[in-house]
Structure 1
Amino acid sequence: MRIMRSKELPKELRDRTVARHRSGQGYKRISAALKVPKSTVASIILKWKKFGTTRTLPRPGRPAKLSNRGRRALVREVKKNPKITVAELQRCSREMGESSTKSTITAALHQSGLYGRVARRKPLLSARHMKACIEFAKKHMKDSQTMRNKILWSDETKIELFGVNSKRYVWRKPGTAHHLPNTIPTVKHGGGSIMLWGCFSAAGTGRLVAIEGKMNAAKYRDILEENLFQSAQDLRLG
């Protein structure tokens, strides 16, 4: 969609608008007679009533390089895709008929409370995983803090390279860093890998073990026997 900049009406036409209003004509009739939108007629008359003139008043500063409509269009693009780059927004701006520099686009987004920030990396969870996490949290909401302090959590994981391991920026508002569209998903597959076992509690982290070769039941029991109880002792959970 191409956004056109509105053109200022000639002063002679604005004077005729006010003259018709003073003669008792309504906005709708003036709009039809002068072929001017009714909203424009209302704006001209409101300005005349407030300032007593139809001439163009001096602006308080340099006119904005990007119109309000153009800025709103860019904000919509960012909300649809928070990871969109400034260069891509610049192309969108040109397509809308408002060619803008990168600094102008950045300033416009800042005015709307959107800032470029490094995207947080979070595990890619399925709907089933999310549901299970919520159910677990609800089930243990009433557990006492003393009970929680005695729990030692352990798990093993295979961590592999997934995608490009570089910073990716997103446009977001303060306080939305962990909202799903503003994060980069990570998974446990995709390239060179390392398998780890570790544990932690409210008191801190326990042992971290690098697992050589393929994990099986016997190796898992050995890891627990050699590290789980010792971690509990180190963290004084007994």
Structure 2
Amino acid sequence: MVRYQMLSRDDIVAISSLHKAGHSTRAISDQTGVRVRQVQRYVRRMAEMGGNKIPAKRKPPGNTRKTSLRTLRVVHLELERNPRVSARKIREDNFGLLSNVSVRTLSRRIHDDLQYLSYAARPKPVVSVAQQEKRLAFCDRMKDWTIEQWRGVLWSDESRFIVTSSSQGRVYRRPGSDHLDPRYTAPAVRFPDSLMVWGCFSYHGVGSLVVLPKNTTMNQGN
């Protein structure tokens, strides 16, 4: 469905002038960028008014928007400042500006007008300041290495895998009931079995994947 096209006063004057100059509806549309159907409507309105007056600008159909450009700028700044903020929180923090805007409408404006989409946050390992300094020092030491030097490097890492479910589910119970009742609990393993896996790669290719015996751990010293 094509949205209603808002015309400025300049558009209306241009349509009127070109029509009086004898231009066709198609030519007026090409020169002004206004759709042919809408040009035809304005030409018809001019004829109904005697052909001399310029039709007044009409209000667009539907309810008046409750979010102005200023409102959207404020919402944009809130999202850039804190991408985790919710539409409800934005409304609460800017209630004087958004008191007449529902949370649902605000969410729609965030999606449709500001083009923000909701995604699950990507997990990212936490890197301490000390680790950052070590990584920068490593890069500084190796920045002038040649391909021949890198061919002699073996990269390796290990990872620990635990096979257990972390889903506890949800239960309904009355206030004051025993929350330790077996009907309301979920089984949990305190010290689950684990597998340590070690792998490596180099300039020449990928090495074999080594799976250590169950519950065996290793570190840089192994």
TM-score (norm 2): 0.46
Return the index of the structure with the highest Cα Rg. Answer: 2
Higher strand share: 1
**Bigger RCO of structures 1 and 2 (CA < 8 A, at least 6 apart):** 1
